[in-house]
Structure 1
Amino acid sequence: MTRVWTVPVHDSTRVRDVRVATEEAGSHARLDAHRTAVAALVATELATNLLKHAGGGTVLINLVDRGVTDARGPAVQLAALDHGPGIPDVAEALRDGHTTSEASLGAGLGTCRRIADVFDLYSTRRGTVAVARVHQSPNPGPRQTHDTCAAGGINIPLARAEHSGDTWSLARSDSRTTLMLADGLGHGARAAHASDAAVEALHDTGHLPPDEILRLMNPALRPTRGAAVAVAQLDTDRGELAFAGVGNIGARLHTDGSWEHLVSHPGIVGAQFPATVPVRRLPWRPGSLLVLHSDGLPSRWVPPEDPGLLGHDPAVVAATVLRDASSAASPVRDDTCVAVLACERPAGRR
């Protein structure tokens, strides 16, 4: 999951680079030839749109692990981010076959939405964020549009490195959904090894309370550099969110129209584990949304207030938070990961 492809798209030659990177990601995710071709087509259209309508942008290609995708297997996630003028008529842009670019393959965003397993787009005058996921196995049928919880995230390494030391994952057990974000110390493959060990530990312990998950994760990370880790566990039967963190992982909960900080405890999982790990419990109400992020995101980032954004796919929310917290003049200064947990996603989005 920590393998990331970051492709700036500022001229037509980079469209091919996006396609090649997507094909490589498909191989890593063990997609077959057809599913890889689907992902490559979607990626080509997203990159072409960046050039044609936004004057350029960035395509981030992440791998999504088994804890998030369930029976559909691993996925390739494509995120196109730009600071362009936005799409004036989103409905028209999403019409199947609509395209205005001579460089396009003629698929258009509407076709991308149809052939991808998940596709969502958010556009304002500040720019556009589009996210698509293509899974190892096709979508088995209609998805629930209520009474379910979904998570999504975005991961970008420092200086377009191959590996990010940050990662996120999800575990489900009965009525409990557990979101974790880990930041391995330092950068590169060794930092990624630490955060990957946290993911493996989560899949073994996700049925336990957050403080117990972290406590059992500590010996699993001792052979590694260690990591800052936060765990948020939502119990939908009780309508309660339990949060615990060790290290400098940021967390903000949106409930009843306002944002609240959730504070992690000082320490390092796998190296300097605290004697006690406080657990904070808060009510989870309809419309609540949780954002976890590593310290690559500026500490003074401004949470989004647009209710239209908060209703989108969690990965779109995460990508928008990442985009709006940085710029060409102030790029991310570390590996950066943002993960979002939300419930009751709107009907009509896949």
Structure 2
Amino acid sequence: MPRVWEVPVHDSTRVRDVRVAAAAAARHAGLAEDRVAAAELVTTELATNLLKHAGGGRILLDLVGPSAPAYGDERDALVQIVAVDHGPGMPDTAVALRDGYSTTATLGAGLGTCLRTADDFGLHSAPGRGTIVMARIGSRTRPDTTGPRPAPLPVRAGGVNIPLAGGGFSGDAWVCVRTADRVTLLLADGLGHGPLAARASSAAVEELRQVPHLPPADLLRRLDRALRGTRGAAVSVAQLDIGAGKLSFAGVGNVGARLRRGDTWQGLVSRPGIVGAHLPTHLPQQQAGWTDDCLLILHSDGLPSRWTPGPAADAPASLDPAVIAATIVRDASSPARPVRDDTAVAVLSPWPPDGTP
């Protein structure tokens, strides 16, 4: 089930809490002790930065798969650490990553240390809005390359998952799975909150992993049978046929989806119902072209209905999709107005033109 950790950081006593949560997440992921220590180091640096530069914020910890699964490694768990703040922001993120740069008379090695330690690292800051810093810590072992190797993906996926009121389990879950030249992104919102809702969304994730070749509408019918013994869930499914440059979408329940093509945003419509309880008889699939300037966002109803994508969603393709997801959640809330439900946002984006998966 989606075990998640959210630690508010508003005074120095919470730095230890962040470090403890990081160790728990890393051991939950089955990482070796040196990588557990790496997760502790990164979270400590990020929590300290929140206090020094932003007046506080929060740390989100989650277990995620690789952003671009390519070698049957979708089940490999990485610890994703995201620092979120509503602070003053950074005028120049590139300068902030250099060792020796500091605005508080310190050594200025914090973000540089995180960059070197993490398997993946992302940063976005907007003056007046705040900063998002993301790091993923994995085993750093190379995938098995003795068998046939599929071509690297031209897209990658990332997301964030935040439990309601700091709960240990989120009723939301998302996953990205590859089969041949198709990539399927699923987001499920189990009814209610807590472990029983998490059980429903987890069942949807596991079923997709069994049948990733099915198109979205057929997959929803399969999920309806698989979730019959659970509370049920709202589910959105998007499948990208890379060779054809075509995106297919189908959804049931109060899950949202938006597709950006160039400068235009298009809503993708889900049908009323509950997967596992009340599946609509007719499940149409929406079709859309996919090009290198596209961006897909799936989200649960924890976001306000009138949320706006914000500057990160229009940023260059070099921005990690998990960072985009975190900025969307941050900009839809505030320290005084936190998210109102379990909230998950998943993003599918192209690799940057000069990126190497």
TM bucket, shorter chain: over 0.9
**More deviation in 1-10 or 232-241?**
1-10
Query: Is the contact made by 2:260 and 2:295 (CA closer than 8 Å) also made in structure 1?
Result: yes
CA-to-aligned-CA distance 1:147-203 (integer Å, 9 cap, x gap)? 621000000011000000001001101111000000000000000000000000010
Q: Which amino acid aligns with 2:258?
A: R
1:74 corresponds to: 77
Q: CA 1:13/1:89 → structure 2, altered by over 3 Å: closer, same or farther? A: same
Query: Is the contact made by 2:4 and 2:170 (CA closer than 8 Å) also made in structure 1?
Result: yes
Q: Secondary structure at the match of 1:224?
A: coil
When the two structures are superposed, what TM-score results if normalisation uses the length of structure 2? 0.91
Residue 326 of structure 1: which of 300, 324, 333 is its match? 333
Q: Which amino acid aligns with 2:81?
A: L
Residue 123 of structure 1: which of 101, 122, 125 is its match? 125
Query: Identical aligned pairs, as a percentage?
Result: 57
Query: Is the contact made by 1:59 and 1:78 (CA closer than 8 Å) also made in structure 2?
Result: yes
Query: Is the contact made by 1:243 and 1:281 (CA closer than 8 Å) also made in structure 2?
Result: yes
- What is the rounded CA distance, in whole Å, between the counterparts of 1:67 and 1:79 in structure 2? 15
Q: Which amino acid aligns with 2:213?
A: H
Q: Which amino acid aligns with 1:150?
A: R
1:214 corresponds to: 220
Count residues with an aligned counterpart.
Answer: 347
Gaps of 5+ in 1: none
Q: Please give the residue correspondences for 1:278-289 in structure 2 after superposition, counting only pairs within 5 Å.
A: 278-289=284-295
- 1:308 Cα deviation after fit: 2.3
| Structure 1 runs, 4 residues or longer, greater than 2 Å off | 65-72, 96-104, 136-141, 304-311, 344-350
2:208 corresponds to: 202
- What is the rounded CA distance, in whole Å, between the counterparts of 2:213 and 2:155 in structure 1? 16
- 1:68 Cα deviation after fit: 6.2
1:274 corresponds to: 280
CA-to-aligned-CA distance 1:240-292 (integer Å, 9 cap, x gap)? 10000011110000002111100101111111111121100001111100000
Gaps of 5+ in 2: 145-151
Q: Which amino acid aligns with 2:97?
A: L
- What is the rounded CA distance, in whole Å, between the counterparts of 2:316 and 2:50 in structure 1? 20
Q: Which amino acid aligns with 2:336?
A: A
Q: Please give the residue correspondences for 1:129-278 in structure 2 after superposition, counting only pairs within 5 Å.
A: 129-138=132-141, 148-278=154-284
Over the aligned positions, Cα root-mean-square deviation in angstroms equals 2.4
- 1:205 Cα deviation after fit: 1.2
When the two structures are superposed, what TM-score results if normalisation uses the length of structure 1? 0.93
Q: Secondary structure at the match of 2:73?
A: helix
